[in-house]
């Protein structure tokens, strides 16, 4: 089983802990668009991405969204296993952004291993600190950055993730990532288009002047 | 030394770990208003409140503030020791809101103990998850709640913390807690006053109708 190669602290677990983990691990494959955790779903378990891409987002009571962070190959999601820790008092939703294969570790098994293994607990600490940093960055953006800076930064990041300057994204989807209504996105994209930073067509945004977008981000 | 009574996992540390901690612990007393960590200050260390009250907040490049959470007696602050973990990639500022006595644990000593002690690492995990929950709540508020709801909620929480309905708070200070300009606070407080929820005088806000404020919070 190649989970061992993906889990960075595998060698630091005892033989009994490795056995326990191996015995409860499940592999799961989902299609793009599948919601793998959320909506008061029971404790799904920890997810480790083998291949594909997951998106973690917050959902408001009235259905608005904002993207918190992405999980790529080898990334692990703790918050789909919030029952693992008493102090996790919030809910997020996780959706496959591409066809994705992942391992699922039951929360209770992981909690049990963490209780005895300092390496496992410290690994978990680092993951949590890393997600915390993502959310603090986002908070800074939402609170103090202008929308043009956030949109320009988002487009550049997407181009980087996808490895192309032609992004297949609707204005609605962009709004869900950034936590803004579609109309606000459309208005700003039109402005970007007028300035020659992007070219718009049905369902795609093409970045024409990444240098210009970068200058907007820097403010 | 009564630190032992305050630190929940003291009994789960080895004699050597207890010795190490004892040998590097410092007690520090500061006056209300002192900034104990922040502004690119070097790694201050972990702080545990013995008596008093600390406020952790985010500071924008141009000097705006928003309160993230409060630390009361027996609460521990991790993020004043961000050098302890590679993945903590953000800065917060911590200020004494009352005259405060605290213990300071050097980051390197704590990291060393955590590396070997599963109980210490798991305790740290719970603290981080708890602060993460505070910040996720705040994100929800900032993104989706109306300002009247946030202000009413803040006033009720302050009254609860201070144990009085007469709050000594300027509009400027309230703005710093909530991340809004003073003018926005003043306008909403005037509306609350007109509705009979609060009575305003120089430097104080008196809550007259907590039931009414609670209804605003519930929306």
For residue B1, the model assigns a pLDDT of 59
Alpha-carbon gap, residue B50 to B46, rounded angstroms: 13
CA gap A91, B169 in Å, rounded: 33
Low pLDDT (below 70) residues in chain A: 1
Query: Over the stretch A58-83, which tens digit does the pLDDT of each residue have?
Result: 998 888 899 999 999 999 999 999 88
Candidates B136, B141, B145, B180: best to mutate against A (most CBs of A within 10 A) is: B136
The DSSP output letter for A109 is H
Choose, out of A75, A87, A110, A149, the residue to mutate when testing the contact with B (most B CBs < 10 Å): A87
> In this complex, is the C-beta atom of B121 within 8 Å of any C-beta atom belonging to chain A?
yes
Q: Which chain B residues contact residue A89 at CB under 8 A?
A: 130, 133, 137
The per-residue pLDDT string of chain B (219 residues; one tens digit each, 9 = 90 and over) reads: 589 999 999 999 999 999 999 999 999 999 999 999 997 777 899 999 999 999 999 998 888 899 999 999 999 999 999 889 989 989 899 999 999 999 999 999 999 999 999 999 999 999 999 999 999 989 988 888 889 999 999 999 999 999 999 999 999 999 999 998 898 899 899 989 988 999 999 889 999 999 999 999 987
Residue B54's pLDDT is 96
Helix, strand, or coil here: B164? coil
Three-state DSSP at A172 gives helix
Contacting residues of B for A86, CB less than 8 Å apart = 126
Report yes or no: A14 at the B interface, CB cutoff 8 Å.
no
* Chain A contact set for B114 (CB, 8 A): 118, 122, 125
Query: Are the beta carbons of B87 and A126 separated by less than 8 Å?
Result: yes
Nearest of A44, A24, A27 to residue A36 by alpha carbon: A44
Locate the chain B residue with the closest alpha carbon to A62.
B144
- Confidence (pLDDT) at A1: 59
pLDDT at A4: 94
E-strand ranges in A5-154 read 26-30, 35-37, 46-51, 54-59, 65-71, 76-77, 93-96, 100-105
Q: Which whole-number Å values give the CA distances from B175 to A12, A113, B130, B147, B171, in the listed order?
A: 49, 45, 25, 11, 6
Determine whether the interchain pair A60/B132 forms a contact, defined as Cβ–Cβ distance below 8 Å.
no
CA dihedral A158, A164, A167, A173 (to 10 degrees): -20
Q: Shortest CB distance from B143 goes to which of A66, A86, A124?
A: A66
Contact A139 B143 (CB under 8 A): no
Percent of chain B with pLDDT strictly greater than 70: 100
Is A174 strand, coil or helix? helix
B178 touches B149 (CB < 8 A): no
For residue B121, the distance in angstroms to the closest alpha carbon of chain A comes to: 6
pTM of the model: 0.87
Sheet hosting strand B166-168, strand order edge to edge: B166-168, B204-207, B198-201
Dihedral over Cα of B116, B125, B50, B42: its sign: positive
B218 at interface of A, judged by CB pairs closer than 8 A? no
A60 touches chain B (CB under 8 A): yes
Least Cα distance to A77 among A49, A106, A41 occurs for A49
Contact assignment for A139 to B139 by CB distance below 8 Å:
yes
- In whole angstroms, what is the distance from residue B80 CA to residue B65 CA? 17
3-state SS assignment for residue B155: helix
The mean pLDDT of chain B is: 93
The dihedral built from the CA positions of residue B142, B81, A7 and A116, taken in this order, carries a sign that is negative
Burial B204-217, CB ≥16 within 10 A → b, else e: ebebeebeebeebb
Instruction: Give which of B41, B36, B29 is closest to B55, Cα–Cα.
Output: B36
> Residue A49: how many CA atoms within 13 Å on its side-chain side?
22
Tokens of B168: 């000594």
What's the residue count for chain B? 219
Give CA angle at B60 (B56, B61), nearest 5°. Answer: 135
Q: Residue B128 is nearest to which of A58, A129, A144, comparing CB atoms? A: A129
What is the distance in angstroms between the Cα of A127 and the nearest Cα belonging to chain B? 7
Most B CBs within 10 A among A120, A143, A147, A177, hence the mutation to make, goes to A143
């Amino acid at each position: 089983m190649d989970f061992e190669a993906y889990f960075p602290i595998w060698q630091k677990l005892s033989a009994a802990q490795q056995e326990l983990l191996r015995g409860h691990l499940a592999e799961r494959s989902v299609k793009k668009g599948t919601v793998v955790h959320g909506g008061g779903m029971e404790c799904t378990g920890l997810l480790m991405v083998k291949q594909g891409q997951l998106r973690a987002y917050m959902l408001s009571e009235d259905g608005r969204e904002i993207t918190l962070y992405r999980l790529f190959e080898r990334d692990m999601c703790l918050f789909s296993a919030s029952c693992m820790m008493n102090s996790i008092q919030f809910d997020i939703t996780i959706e496959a952004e591409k066809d994705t294969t992942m391992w699922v570790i039951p929360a209770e098994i992981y909690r049990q291993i963490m209780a005895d293994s300092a390496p496992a607990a410290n690994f978990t600490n680092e993951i949590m600190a890393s997600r915390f940093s993502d959310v603090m960055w986002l908070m800074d953006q939402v609170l103090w950055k202008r929308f043009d800076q956030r949109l320009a930064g988002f487009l550049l990041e997407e181009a980087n993730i996808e490895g192309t300057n032609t992004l297949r994204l609707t204005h609605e989807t962009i709004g869900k990532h950034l936590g803004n209504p579609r109309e606000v996105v459309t208005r700003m994209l039109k402005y970007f288009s007028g300035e020659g930073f992007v070219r718009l067509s049905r369902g795609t945004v093409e970045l024409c002047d990444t240098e210009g977008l970068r200058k907007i981000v820097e403010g």
